[in-house]
Amino acid sequence: MNKERKLIIAGNWKMNKTVAEALALVNSLKLELANVKEVDIVVCPPFTALESVSKAVLDSNLRLGAQNMSENNFGAFTGEICAGMLKEFSVRYIILGHSERRQYQKESDKLIARKAAAAHAATLKPIVCVGETLAEREANQTEKVLETQLRGSLAGLTKEQAIETIVAYEPVWAIGTGKTATTQQAQSAHAFIREVLAKMFDKAAARKIRIQYGGSVKPSNARELMSQPDVDGALVGGASLEARSFADIIKNSI
């Protein structure tokens, strides 16, 4: 395992958990994971639970993330939430460009780049998601899609900002499907992403950027995935909604 980069494992709860359910989950995680220091642990509840979870994780080793934010700072943007509002709840990480938002909300690389810039301006750490669909993989377009998304979604970032950005590789065909990329497929994609980052910034910066894998991560495959040289953590969906499975993924990764 690469000791140069600390593992970061984030739970994306998506549109799940009432406030009461969120508190029950996070309180269980605090107990299960109290002694884990080798991994940066992030929980990303829905907006409605951020305030309660923020108080619950105070003085714990869990960090708070949000699932999206506006590229704008305050103003007439109905239904949007900006970085300043998230900072009130001690949010440190922000998921940007998740495949579901790219698909359902038609988010473009250009928009994601503006959001990433806004996140850095507010000293939030963006988790920028990239990944190919099944059709794109079967057409041997994986590398083309990844390079296009990376160059578009990270456009305009300084080298220092890039180092503070987490990239999440999520093969769209493996999200919530039970299909997982083989460890070789995951490592190959992560190594390619690092090559692109080296071209965009430089090799030293690329070596410092953490790249998460997201796509049906489970306790049973966590150790093998995290042992790959270019896999620096996981962005976990369904398995993060239950305390034992999320805690086991983290414990199995160490």
How many residues does the structure list for the chain?
A: 254
* Alpha helices by DSSP H, 154-240: 159-163, 183-200, 203-208, 219-226
Ordered alpha helix ranges (H), the chain: 19-32, 50-57, 83-87, 99-104, 109-121, 134-138, 142-153, 159-163, 183-200, 203-208, 219-226, 243-253
Q: Distance (Å, rounded) from C-alpha 153 to C-alpha 69?
A: 15
CB 27, CB 242: distance < 8 Å: no
Tell me which DSSP letter residue 165 carries: P
User: Catalytic site residues?
Assistant: 98, 170
Residues in contact with 167: Cβ distance below 8 Å, sequence separation at least 6, in sequence order: 127, 128, 130, 150, 193, 197, 209, 210, 211, 212
Longest dimension (CA), the chain: 48
As given in the structure block, the two tokens for residue 171 are: 């093969």
